[in-house]
Amino acid sequence: MFLTGSDIQSIWLTAKLASVVTVILLIVGTPIAWWLARTKSWLKGPLGAVVALPLVLPPSVLGFYLLLAMGPNGPVGHLTRALGIGALPFTFWGLVIASVFYSLPFMVQPLQNTFESIGDHPLEVAATLGASPLDAFFTVALPLARPGFLTASIMTFAHTVGEFGVVLMIGGNIPGVSRVASVQIYDHVEALEYSQAHSMAAVMMIFFFLVLLGLYVWRPSALKMSRRD
């Protein structure tokens, strides 16, 4: 087989990390995107900038500050130790938290755009039919935003799979714990194992190509669905 056991382990870890991060960001990112799409508060600008920060920030910068925050002397580190969880850096859950921050704009921004395009009107209609704001959100806004949720989830998953800098800063290179696919490729190159690096890189290439292909093939029909009315 062209992939070693260690390669498969890193791919499995990457898939697990990306899945967990996507689920967490669906839960955390949806209310943020909803608020950003509907608020008229002056805080919209500052919060929108904070959400978008990982898009432009070097991963090492983000990783550095997260490492400080989660380290034994950081505020998060103090908290986790007080809760009996211990230190988060170089653990899978430390990696998850870092990835949540790093992939936040990939979930929030597509959702925010979708919620903005839906507008207030369908919710007002639902309200005049007796739906409370929460009811209208779950029975009207969420179903209408389905295409946006699919796009945001795919983008978040793919972006988490492709992480490298933040992962290395927070997780290091521990097999089965924090050695994800991108770090595994780096490891192979460092060890001059080019054929193994090729195999892993090919797997990553094919994966990302298929993700983008899926998005491009699916997107027109999704757009059509959201605009047909």
Please, which of residues 142-171 interact with other proteins by CB under 8 A? 143-144, 146
DSSP string, 122-168: HHHHHHHTT--HHHHIIIIIHHHTHHHHHHHHHHHHHHHHT--HHHH
- Tell me how far, at minimum, the Cβ of 107 lies from other proteins, in Å: 22
List the one residue from 133, 176, 202, 209 that touches other proteins (CB under 8 A).
133
Q: Which stretch binds other proteins (CB under 8 A): 21-29, 48-56, 116-124, 189-197?
A: 116-124
Q: Does 223 bind other proteins (CB under 8 A)?
A: no
Helix (H) or strand (E) holding 86: none
What are the φ/ψ torsions at residue 58 (nearest 5 degrees)? Answer: -60, 135
Which of 38, 44, 53, 180 lies closest to 106, judged by CA? Answer: 53
DSSP string, 193-221: -HHHHHHHHHHHHHHHHHHHHHHHHHHHH
Which is nearer to other proteins, 129 or 210 (by Cβ)? Answer: 129
Q: Does 45 bind other proteins (CB under 8 A)?
A: no
Q: Which stretch binds other proteins (CB under 8 A): 104-112, 123-131, 178-186, 196-204?
A: 123-131
Q: How is residue 175 annotated by DSSP?
A: T
Q: Which stretch binds other proteins (CB under 8 A): 2-10, 44-52, 100-108, 118-126?
A: 118-126
What sign results for the dihedral spanned by CA atoms 125, 128, 130, 136? Answer: positive
Which is nearer to other proteins, 20 or 150 (by Cβ)? Answer: 150
Show the binding pattern over residues 67-106: x = contacts other proteins (CB under 8 A), - = does not. Answer: ----------------------------------------
Q: Which stretch binds other proteins (CB under 8 A): 3-11, 38-46, 100-108, 129-137?
A: 129-137
Which of 24, 29, 22 lies closest to 52, judged by CA? Answer: 29
Which is nearer to other proteins, 133 or 176 (by Cβ)? Answer: 133
Helix (H) or strand (E) holding 229: none
Which is nearer to other proteins, 83 or 134 (by Cβ)? Answer: 134
List the one residue from 130, 192, 195, 216 that touches other proteins (CB under 8 A).
130
Which is nearer to other proteins, 60 or 132 (by Cβ)? Answer: 132
Q: Are 97 and 88 in contact (CB under 8 A)?
A: yes
Q: Does 132 bind other proteins (CB under 8 A)?
A: yes
- Quote the distance between the C-alpha of residue 24 and its chain's center: 8
Q: Are 182 and 163 in contact (CB under 8 A)?
A: yes
Q: Does 122 bind other proteins (CB under 8 A)?
A: yes
Interface residues with other proteins (CB under 8 A)? 121-122, 124-133, 135, 139-140, 143-144, 146, 228-229
